[in-house]
Amino acid sequence: MARAYPAKNIYIDIEGVILTRGGLPAAHLEQFLKYILSNYRVFWLTTRCSGDIKYTLEYLGKFVPAEIIPLLSKIRPTRFSIDKTEAINFGDEFYWLDDEIFASEKNVLDKHNKYDSWIEIDLMKNPNQLAHLIHNKLYYS
């Protein structure tokens, strides 16, 4: 039986989140994507997507194994011009996974009282962070 459609949105960055800063796929990437795609609505929030995932997938195809691409193709596009927060729907609950956000973006989160929605990813410090998240903060019960 299908579970109730989850209310929560997830926005994800690429460099430093899906890919390490060295351009390798993050550890546990396939498991992570399967989990969040089954439990959340997932959106890109990256300069590598400007309203069209074709370019995003072409880019990622240079770094990730082919079997990951069908999962990545389920992530929905967004568009913003300067700050990523332009593309966030503040009317819905969300998490935003990013390794680095601008001071202006922090201010917008603060203004909406959503600073805690930002999950700071640091794969250098914690290479297993994606697996940790789906068993903890992103665990959907």
Residue ranges that bind Mg ion, judged by CB under 5 A: 13, 15-16, 99
C-beta closer to Mg ion: residue 15 or 30: 15
What are the φ and ψ backbone dihedral angles of 137, each rounded to 5 degrees? -60, -35
C-beta closer to Mg ion: residue 38 or 47: 47
CB of 46 to Mg ion, least distance (A): 7
C-beta closer to Mg ion: residue 19 or 138: 19
What are the φ and ψ backbone dihedral angles of 80, each rounded to 5 degrees? -150, 160
C-beta closer to Mg ion: residue 83 or 99: 99
CB of 15 to Mg ion, least distance (A): 4
CB of 21 to Mg ion, least distance (A): 8
CB of 121 to Mg ion, least distance (A): 8
Helical segments of 16-136, H only: 29-39, 53-60, 69-72, 103-111, 129-135
Q: Give the pairing type, strands 118-120 and 9-12.
A: unpaired
CA angle, 8 then 64 then 77, to 5° = 40
